[in-house]
Amino acid sequence: MTVLMPEGTRERLILTAEQLFASKGIESVSLREIARTAGQKNVAALQYHFGDREGLFSAILEYRMSGIEQVREGMLREADNSGAGDNMRELVRCLVVPMMEHIRSAGPDSHYIEFLARLQVSFPAFLENENRNKPWQQRVLEISNRLEPFVPASDPLLRQQRQLMMGACMIHSVAAFERGLREGRYQIAGLDSFAGNLVDALCGILSAAHVS
């Protein structure tokens, strides 16, 4: 049987799921609750558009990351054109700033980065696979490769761990700003200062001397 959905239903489901996952936790939100909150009578709408829960995760990631990736690609191109494409701090800025700009654009309604942070904790294997195979992650992988020489460790495993630490710190720190903005503890006026401070901290994680 074909399920006829009114125009805009898919986007409404994505935005509703993103907000509920971010605010309540991924494990605490059922597909039925998402459908009901989005104005659908049952989960048929979700199954029609996304198939299952992981299909919904993928849709949220693609919906947000495509735009974030465009900003990141533009920043990386500018860095290359200016001769700063191999500068550690500039490369880390290319990771951080596009996510912060998403928050600037969305304002207090922003929930995506906290959703991403929760997904990283609850479904790490799924997120790792998505990051490996999706086109919107290509610039992140390119930047990661360029940053590798800045890690002062000869063991490949230690170098990989250092970048994973940096990535986790970045996502959860930006998520904390996003949540603080909604709760009134942060203001958009402080976004640039927060981003700069975070870039400095991430450079420190990446380049800190390894003590065996």
Average pLDDT (165-176) is 97
Q: 140 and 110, same structural domain?
A: yes
pTM across the whole model: 0.91
Angstrom distance (rounded) from CA 49 to CA 46: 5
Is residue 81 located within the same domain as residue 107? yes
Structural domain contains residue 56:
no
Mean of the pLDDT values across residues 19-36? 95
Q: Is residue 122 part of a domain?
A: yes
Q: What is the domain extent for residue 15?
A: 1-51
pLDDT of residue 212: 66
Burial of 81 from C-beta contacts in 10 A (0-12 / 13-18 / 19+): exposed
Specify whether 105 is located in the same domain as 170.
Answer: yes
Indicate whether 47 and 70 sit together in one domain. no
